[in-house]
Amino acid sequence: MVQHSDMTAKMAKGHGFIAALDQSGGSTPKALKGYGIEESAYSGDEDMFGLIHEMRCRIIRSAAFTGEKVIGAILFERTMDGSVDGRTIPAALIAKGVVPFIKIDKGLEAEADGVQLMKPMPDLDALLARAKGLGVYGTKERSVVNSANRAGIAAIVKQQFEVGRQVLAAGLMPILEPEVNIKSATRGECDRILKEEILKALDAMPGSDKVMLKLSIPETPGLFDALVDHPRVLRVVALSGGYSRPDACKELAKNRGMIASFSRALLEDLRAQMSDAEFDAALGAAIGDIYGASVDKVSA
């Protein structure tokens, strides 16, 4: 049986990246359309979630999807509760050497002070207990920074760390994701303020626990080096944030110590209509590109 400490070691030092397979309600139709399934092909949420589940199962089954290059995967709650070939999804991932995470946020509040906080999560403790029981290692929770408002960014960081403490108390590893909108007119300043606020929060953490961070690739390469090196950070991972895979990989490769946690950039070439051989080849190519950008760094 894989121990929590083994998963921690893989997250801290493993060569590879984290696959984000956590598209939820609002983003599922777009993900299915990208996969070649139009909204006219299904009726209602159950059909929709069944199709996205089968897409994720096809990815997990693929010979290209192994722990050699994909060290972790983030799941949507319904995916975590599902199964593939008679195994729970977390167990199937662990069997392939992939560390499972669960997306726990319930979406975003309306924008205020240039940011979108996470909606309340009243049932979080029950979800965390269920996830731990299924062998899940950690969580991911997303909020969004749209403009360089320090009060708003400080509020986002405060909320992220509060949720992170709740996750740690449940025995899981939190990935804190205060995403900077890469289309923001003040993106560079957002990056700088966010880094300062995260460093303050890290320095104020009690005890010896660590967190992970999932951040937009900074406009200025190397800006997040201090976060990568911080003793309370297990790993810094990057979201693709709307970049195409070639652009996301190019920008990520300029940032030492940051590995990918891509969703759309991982899945963009996959289609439901592909043969298994075509599907495995396309997924393998994407995994190879993203692995390379996570492991082989270049000077900016």
d(CA 268, CA 9): 30
Catalytic residue among 177, 179, 197, 251: 177
Residue 250 near residue 238, CB atoms below 8 Å: no
CA proximity to 22, closest of 97, 84, 96, 106? 106
pLDDT of residue 23: 75
pLDDT of residue 25: 64
Helices (H), 170-263: 187-203, 225-228, 245-252
pTM: 0.96
- 99 phi and psi angles, rounded to 5 deg: -80, 125
197 is catalytic: no
- 30 phi and psi angles, rounded to 5 deg: -65, -40
Q: Which residues are CB-contacts of 6 (< 8 A; sequence separation ≥ 6)? A: none
Structural domains present in the chain? 4-295 (3.20.20.70)
Average of pLDDT values for 172-191?
A: 97
pLDDT tens, residue by residue, 210-226:
999 999 999 999 999 99
Question: In which band, very low, low, confident or very high, does the pLDDT at 294 lie, cut at 50, 70 and 90?
Answer: very high
Burial class (CB in 10 A: 0-12, 13-18, 19+), 88: middle
% the chain with pLDDT above 90? 91
d(CA 154, CA 112): 12
CA proximity to 51, closest of 74, 28, 26? 28
Percent composition of the chain: helix, strand, coil (DSSP 3-state, to 5) = 45, 20, 35
d(CA 13, CA 32): 33
Catalytic residue among 69, 103, 214, 251: 214
214 is catalytic: yes
Q: Which residues are CB-contacts of 138 (< 8 A; sequence separation ≥ 6)? A: 11, 99, 101, 102, 167, 172, 173, 174, 175, 212
Rounded to the nearest integer, the mean pLDDT of the chain is 95
d(CA 188, CA 202): 21
Residue 73 near residue 66, CB atoms below 8 Å: no
pLDDT tens, residue by residue, 124-177:
999 999 999 999 999 999 999 999 999 999 999 999 999 999 999 999 999 999
pLDDT of residue 300: 65
Burial class (CB in 10 A: 0-12, 13-18, 19+), 257: middle
pLDDT of residue 167: 98
Tokens matching residue 133 = 């029981």
CB atoms inside a 10 Å sphere around CB 232: 16
